[in-house]
Amino acid sequence: MLNLIHQNRQDEAITVFKKQSRKGLSTIDEVCITVAIKACRGDTKLASQIHGFATASEYMSYVCVCNSLINMYCKSREFSKAFSIFDNLANPDTVSYNTIISGFQDSRDALAFAYEMHSAAIVFDAINCSVLAHSADCYELGFGIQLHCLVFKLGLNSELFIGNALVTLYLKCEKLVEAEKVFFVIPQNDLVSWNSILSGYAQEGSFQW
């Protein structure tokens, strides 16, 4: 099935899954269901059927199956369904958190959720904060400042991925000075860092080094 997806033959992958499911649960495992969900390509009706199958066959206890469904529902803008699955996870992993954070339509809600994570002693990493930064809409300066404070509090302000995301966020808000401050804190800037800050200078119409 996975090979079929890599060949962009998702419909055939679904056909294989249906044939296997008719043979009984002995031919299906959590990986097979996860791949089948991926093959749905945003077809929520089909994915919901597989969701029902996973629930009936007790495969919702596997975090990989749940993560795949969360991702599918988030991309389909059915966040309530995604969050319901997340909320029922006994042991969500980093992928679970990152996926649900990316699904929030309002970045303020995403930040509030992040603070809940922090209060619950859930360990943040660079990916968590990068996802938060990239989820922000343009001109949300207040969000950027709050996120920057959270990053500083967590001691992640020197992480490359987070730094790049914050630089981009500040530039979206047309705050070149704040973007510069973050840029110069990054221990080793990469191509993304340089491209971001140079595009900021270009937008500003000035270049001062």
pLDDT per residue as tens digits for the range 108-167: 787 778 777 767 777 667 676 777 666 665 556 777 777 788 788 777 777 888 888 888
12 versus 89: the higher-pLDDT residue is 89
Are 84 and 109 within one domain?
Answer: no
C-alpha span between 97 and 114 (Å, rounded): 9
Are 93 and 121 within one domain?
Answer: no
| pLDDT, mean over the chain | 82
The share of the chain scoring above pLDDT 70, in percent, equals 83
Asked which of 45, 78, 97 is the last residue of a domain, the reply is: 97
The stretch 86-114 carries a mean pLDDT of 85
Domain that residue 161 falls in? 104-209
Residue 52: strand, helix, or coil: helix
Q: Which residue has the tokens 């093959």?
A: 39
Q: How many domains does the chain have?
A: 2
| pLDDT given for residue 10 in this prediction | 74
Q: What is the pLDDT of residues 14-37, one digit of tens each?
A: 787 788 777 766 668 888 889 888
- CB burial readout 80-99, b (16+ within 10 A) else e: ebbbebbeebeebeebbbbb
C-alpha span between 72 and 93 (Å, rounded): 17
**C-alpha atoms less than 13 angstroms from C-alpha of 133 in its C-beta half-sphere:** 29
Q: What is the pLDDT of residues 139-151, one digit of tens each?
A: 567 777 777 887 8
Under 8 Å CB-to-CB from 142, ≥6 apart: which residues? none
Asked which of 97, 122, 156 is the last residue of a domain, the reply is: 97
